[in-house]
Amino acid sequence: MNGQKVWTTLAHVSKWGMLLLRTDPELPKHKGMSYFVVDMQAPGVEVRPLRQITGEAEFNEVYFSDVRIPDAQLIGSRGDGWRVALTTLMNERVAIGSRTQARNTGAIADLVAVWLERGGDAEQRNRVTGLWAEAEVARLTNLRAAGNRATGTPGPEGSTAKLVYAELNKRIYDLATELMGPSGMLYDSYADSQPRPGDPESTDFRRRFLRSRANSIEGGTSEIMKNILGERVLGLPGEPRTDRDLPWSDIPRS
């Protein structure tokens, strides 16, 4: 295996990774791929930290140079990697967006705490209550979806919840930072660090504001979520895809 992957969360502490690789370049791009579990400590695997606007390096860039992967680490069948990858992505989106937290917890609780401490004008009060209502609608929708979800591959509710969570979370922390006034621009530390699972979560709203930028990228960008919902849920016409049936080896590349 040779290649490179940008944005792999916690790769610096991972024993195993999930790897989608092309095993037949003569098939179209969504075929001819296979899905493997890869040993992140295997020879030829190099993890490079990517420092974020928070100062941390939670994400990483991973390089593979002549990495040998045993056949026993194949998930599914050879050439069926795209289907396995979609299953992984749909479960990831459910994990990110379909959180069934208690009322008045999470990001909206942070916003309400800032409002109670610092207050604001009538227009800001209306925005706080509007976001609280949106958060409650999303919470109740996730509860309903969880109750109706059958076992097996998640449906479009995962993409819907992920999109709503990402955009709502950003707007909540935008307003929280605004309510903090000039102090909202004073971030305590950009110390370079690599978080590990189990590390205490920062309670600094400014750090959460910066980290919320990632919500609309991780697990599939908001733009991708809108395409999925438009095409596969609403039945809208998709974007032109002239290379769908071409062999991967014949697709022009820059």
Full DSSP string of 214-240: GGGTTTS-HHHHHHHIIIIIS-PPPPP
User: Which residue in 57, 56, 58 sits closest to 187, CA to CA?
Assistant: 56
Alpha helices, H only, the chain: 81-97, 107-118, 122-148, 157-179, 205-211, 222-228
Residues of the chain with CATH 1.20.140.10: 89-233
Residue 186 in tokens: 């004073």
Single pTM value for the model: 0.82
Tell me what pLDDT residue 99 has: 65
| CATH, domain 3-81, list 2.60.40.1120, 3.40.50.1950, 3.40.50.2300, 2.40.110.10 | 2.40.110.10
Compute CA distances 24 → 18, 28, 83, 200, 241, whole Å. Answer: 19, 9, 15, 44, 21
In the chain, the amino acid numbered 90 is: M
Residue 108 in tokens: 């909206």
Taking all residues of the chain, what is their mean pLDDT, rounded to a whole number? Answer: 88
Q: What is the DSSP letter of 62?
A: E
Residue 75 in tokens: 């998930």
The phi and psi torsions of 28 (rounded to 5 degrees) equal -60, 165
Q: Are 112 and 132 in contact (CB under 8 A)?
A: yes
- What are the pLDDT digits (tens) for 66-104? 999 999 999 999 999 999 998 888 777 777 766 667 888
- What are the pLDDT digits (tens) for 24-43? 999 998 899 999 999 999 99
Residues of the chain with CATH 2.40.110.10: 3-81
Distance (Å, rounded) from C-alpha 107 to C-alpha 134?
Answer: 12
Q: Are 37 and 73 in contact (CB under 8 A)?
A: yes
Q: Which fold has domain 89-233?
A: Butyryl-CoA Dehydrogenase, subunit A; domain 3 (1.20.140)
- What are the pLDDT digits (tens) for 4-25? 999 898 999 999 999 999 999 9
- What are the pLDDT digits (tens) for 38-67? 999 999 999 999 999 888 999 999 999 999
- What are the pLDDT digits (tens) for 145-186? 776 665 556 667 778 888 999 999 999 999 999 999 998 888
Out of 26, 56, 92, 218, which one is annotated catalytic? 92
Give catalytic status of residue 92 as yes or no.
Answer: yes
Q: What is the DSSP letter of 248?
A: G
